[in-house]
Amino acid sequence: MFDYLVFIGRFQPFHVGHLAVIKTALAQSKHVILLIGSAKQPRSTRNAFNFDERKQMVLSAFDREDVARIHCVPLEDVLYNDQRWVKSVEQAVQSVTGDNPTLKTGLVGHYKDRTSYYLSLFPNWEPVSVPSYRGISATPIRDAYLLGALPSLDIVPASTLTVLQTFMQSVDYQQLQEEAHYIVDYKKSWASVPYPPTFVTVDAVVMHSNHVLLIERGGLPGLGLYALPGGFLDLDETLFNACLRELREETNVSLSDAEWRAAYQSQQTFDEPNRSVRGRTITQGFYFQLDDALPLPQVLGGDDAKRAFWVHLNDVKSELMFEDHYAIIQELAILPSENSHS
């Protein structure tokens, strides 16, 4: 018998497969810690439901006695850095258990494919593997729901269906449905190619006196979200030149090529397979550090950017950021400055 079993998931939405795992965990443990991922992401077709909605889906599916043994804890996404993600998971668990080394803690989950490798990152927690429950996956449930189809009760618990029915009446649902149809139409444009395409994009992290240059997206997907200046690579340009072009088009910063090259610090590839709902998209992030002794350059939104603006790093919120752009800023801007003081 475990003291705690930890179950990590996004539960977008919570379905009967998740329910079966928690029931198994309750039978083998005094308490179950449910780490609900993507807890501080903006609504999108991939992250349609916020933490509180998913917590309601889960806890309303159990009686009062079991609810007292289930601890729902929000877990932020940490992409491109397993070490930081493991630390955040351990801290989330300790927020429930405290720092007690005598507790018997395990990690419960379904080892389905290479995406389940994270289950091996916690050698101090005994793994508890559970089989797939009828092959049910949240992705097709969510995709169909955002296009207007409610799932049946043999796929989701009644608690989830209640949340879905209520959410369907909201403005947020209407906006997500519009985005879902946009993505379907977007993918139709390349549906006849022999293989799904891989798109290449560029994104710029431009820093000045601890401020980062952002834009507000003026179109779908991610309408109204904050993003890094960037876009798709043209056939006749290098990645670096594409980055400079996008900077000029979207922010109208009046710096010469020579000044941009002098400000260039580093670059990194960001290739999380699910980073974009539009399809497989690999982006090259470029890090620029402008001269802090000079005033902040004037910016003005252009092209498909509704506006451009500077934000202090302390005020950049993952809940407002498009796709994985918050993680890109963490990797290129925040972490290098942290490491320089270590």
- The pLDDT score that the predictor gives to residue 115 is 58
Give the pLDDT of residue 304: 87
Sheet holding 70-74, edge to edge: 70-74, 29-36, 2-9, 105-109, 126-129
- Summarize the confidence of residues 197-224 as an average pLDDT: 97
At 337, is the pLDDT very low, low, confident or very high (cuts 50, 70, 90)? Answer: very low
Q: What is the pLDDT of residues 143-174, one digit of tens each?
A: 999 999 999 999 999 999 999 999 999 999 99
- Omega before 13 within 30 of 0, i.e. cis: yes
CATH architecture type of domain 2-167: 3-Layer(aba) Sandwich (3.40)
User: What's the pLDDT score for residue 116?
Assistant: 65
| Beta bridge partners of residue 141, listed in sequence order | none
Any idea where the domains of the chain sit in the sequence? 2-167, 199-339
Per-residue pLDDT of 260-296, as tens digits, reads 999 999 999 999 999 999 999 999 999 999 999 999 9
The answer to whether residue 342 scores a pLDDT higher than 50 is: no
CATH assignment of 199-339, among 3.90.79.10, 2.130.10.10, 3.40.50.720, 3.40.50.300: 3.90.79.10
Three-state DSSP string of the chain: CEEEEEEEECCCCCCHHHHHHHHHHHHHEEEEEEEECCCCCCCCCCCCCCHHHHHHHHHCCCCHHHHCCEEEEECCCCCCCHHHHHHHHHHHHHHHHCCCCCCCEEEEECCCCHHHHHHHCCCCCEEEECCCCCCCCHHHHHHHHHCCCCCCCCCCCHHHHHHHHHHCCCHHHHHHHHHHHHHHHHHHCCCCCCCCCCEEEEEEEEEECCEEEEEEECCCCCCCCEECCEEECCCCCCHHHHHHHHHHHHHCCCCCHHHHHHHEEEEEEECCCCCCCCCCEEEEEEEEECCCCCCCCCCCCCCCEEEEEEEEHHHCCHHHECCCHHHHHHHHHHHHHHHCCC
Q: Is the pLDDT of residue 22 over 70?
A: yes
Tokens of 303: 């092209």
Do 2-167 and 199-339 come out as alike in CATH topology? no
Torsion of Cα atoms, 317 then 319 then 323 then 324, to 10°: 40
Q: Are 55 and 72 in contact (CB under 8 A)?
A: yes
